[in-house]
Structure 1
């Protein structure tokens, strides 16, 4: 991407299991720009608090931890690494143990503005370094980056979201695996929806429903939105309508 073009900032919101993380990484890779997983920041803070003995119910202490979080995040969509205090926690923050606790951090109203500002700062840095950024998570299109060039709400039916998350976590999407995943996915969305809007698109935000799309089709659908809004055509992207 030529540096005389506007920076290509893409903000993607969505509920658990909508495919936003995997689709966002693929979109960033196809466009040759950086990637920011904002959810990883909440997970990293959760891990750090538990590692440091900070009670997640002590909201003020968690805010202090957030302000001093020694976090390193890679920006390469093809090589995601998360390091906290010198420890690689890339795998650790995706465990069920962290997933079960992260809402306590994500719904802390003192933590959110701290991490949201950190996300804005990281988006700006990544954009300058790579010509753009795909940032995904919760509140990205409305609070973190309401001025992003492209804003998308990636959503899917409850059935599709549970099926995908079950396959991701349990390696299966059979009835038992879906049942084991149901509480974690739906509870996380319910808890987070108290402090974040990620189920209904705000004005100017384009909804992409992936319920009946496979992964490649979901990526193409997002690229089509990017092409139509930003006009950043590339060899693999669909033509803008």
Structure 2
């Protein structure tokens, strides 16, 4: 059972995917965290910035490890645990530099597919282009959307005082704008079910996805 969930920032992808994985006894892969982990290494190695080729080489040479437990997923890169660091506002502000690099996307897409195969395709995968690029053959494909104000409010609650409202708004809406140049996570592809989470609880979203199971 391979379930693919796409959506913009703050649409509830991570919360939904974790709950779904727990309820169905599946693995869980947060693909956005892989880009964030790569961003921590990018900022460490290139604090003044780097060319696209340099960023791609950095990711190509990196040893990236991701845990697929829905309860406490951990991430490390080149032996350094970055589980907490990837959630910092400075990573959110810089991640598009890495995520919009087409070669980086190719490399990490291959990494994601290896993780899916290692799990025997029994995993919930969430991100931006899972339903269309990473796993277009998933058993269930969902595009999760929500009102922009709701998405900003959710992200503000997540960072809990680490960034002000303007910074959170920029991170959410600008990231969507930047990432939309390399992936389409606003329009559902054929066969993808759209679920609007604006007025739904996480459990209600999960119930709707489970109703789609073959």
Do the aligned residues in 2 keep the contact of 1:57 with 1:104 (CA within 8 Å)?
no
Moved more, 136-145 or 209-218: 209-218
CA distance 1:112–1:55, change in 2 (3 Å): farther
Alpha-carbon distance in 2 for matches of 1:166, 1:223: 28
Partners in 2 of 1:72 and 1:54 — Cα distance? 23
Equivalent residue, structure 1, for 2:138: 148
Question: What's the TM-score once normalised by structure 2's chain length?
Answer: 0.94
Structure 1: how far apart are the matches of 2:69 and 2:32? 16
1:21 to 11, 14, 17: 14
What residue number does 1:165 align with? 155
Instruction: Name the TM-score, length of structure 1 as normaliser.
Output: 0.84
Corresponding position: 1:134 with 2:127: no
Larger radius of gyration: 1
User: Residue 103 of structure 2 corresponds to which residue in structure 1?
Assistant: 110
Query: Who is 2:86 aligned against?
Result: 93
Match among 31, 36, 51 for residue 24 of structure 2? 31
Q: Count residues with an aligned counterpart.
A: 214
Between the aligned partners of 2:50 and 2:100, the Cα distance in structure 1 is 11
Indicate conservation of the 8 Å contact 2:19/2:203, yes or no.
no
- Structure 2: runs of 5+ lacking an equivalent: none
How far is 1:170 from its partner? 2.5
- Which residue number in structure 1 is paired with residue 187 of structure 2? 200
Once the two structures are TM-superposed, the CA of residue 55 in structure 1 deviates from its matched residue by 5.7
Q: Kindly indicate whether structure 1 or structure 2 has the higher relative contact order, using CA contacts under 8 Å at least 6 residues apart.
A: 2
Deviations 1:184-232 (A, max 9, x none): 1100000000111001110000111101112222222222223xxx2xx
Aligned-CA RMSD value? 1.8
